Amino acid sequence: MLDLLELTYGRYNGGSVAPIGSYLNPRTLAIVQLASDGTLPQDGTFVRVDPSATQTFATIATNLNALLGTIYTATSFHAGTGADTIANPGSASDDA
């Protein structure tokens, strides 16, 4: 799933500066919406699921379901506030 998300939407590591948009953290199902270029929380790997910072969670869920064959709803996600930040982020999804 992560590979398909990264190939489709691009990859941003937590702590990196990212352009305006809506970003999904597949590990926590948090969505961070940046209204201007900003730093993503130190939560691991993010993918930019929409270029808008105001896209609804319902629309994001619909788009992800079409791509991944999942059954997410708007309530599957939560707003990323940094509360999911891990003490030692390692190297995101490359910790194997």
pLDDT tens digits, residue range 10-67? Answer: 999 989 999 999 999 998 999 999 999 999 998 889 999 999 999 999 999 999 999 9
Exposed, middle or buried: residue 93 (CB in 10 Å: 0-12, 13-18, 19+)? Answer: middle
Number of Cβ within 10 Å of residue 17's Cβ equals: 10
**Is the pLDDT score of 7 beyond 90?**
yes
**Is the pLDDT score of 73 beyond 60?**
yes
Nearest to 59 by CA among 39, 33, 85, 82: 33
